Amino acid sequence: MHGPQPIPPVRWFQRRLLAWYRLHARRLPWRSTRNPYRILVSEVMLQQTQVDRVKAHYRAFLRRYPSFEDLAGATEPAVRESWEGLGYYARARNLHATARRVVAEYGGRLPDDPHLIRQLPGIGRYTAGAVLSIAYGKPEPILDTNAARVLERVFAVSRRGGKAALQRRLWAMAAQVTPTRAAGDFNQAIMDLGATVCRARSPQCAVCPLRKQCAAAAKRIASRR
* Half-sphere exposure in the Cβ direction for 41 (13 Å, CA): 30
Q: Is residue 152 flagged as an active site residue?
A: no
For the four alpha carbons of 49, 153, 190 and 168, in that order, the dihedral sign comes to: positive
* Half-sphere exposure in the Cβ direction for 208 (13 Å, CA): 28
The count of other CB atoms within 10 Å of the CB of residue 217 is 21
Three-state DSSP string of the chain: CCCCCCCCCHHHHHHHHHHHHHHHCCCCHHHHCCCHHHHHHHHHHHCCCCHHHHHHHHHHHHHHCCCHHHHHCCCHHHHHHHCCCCCCCHHHHHHHHHHHHHHHHHCCCCCCCHHHHCCCCCCCHHHHHHHHHHHHCCCCCCCCHHHHHHHHHHHCCCCCCCHHHHHHHHHHHHHHHCCCCCHHHHHHHHHHHHHHCCCCCCCCHHHCCCHHHCHHHHCCCHHHC
By annotation, the residues acting in catalysis are: 43
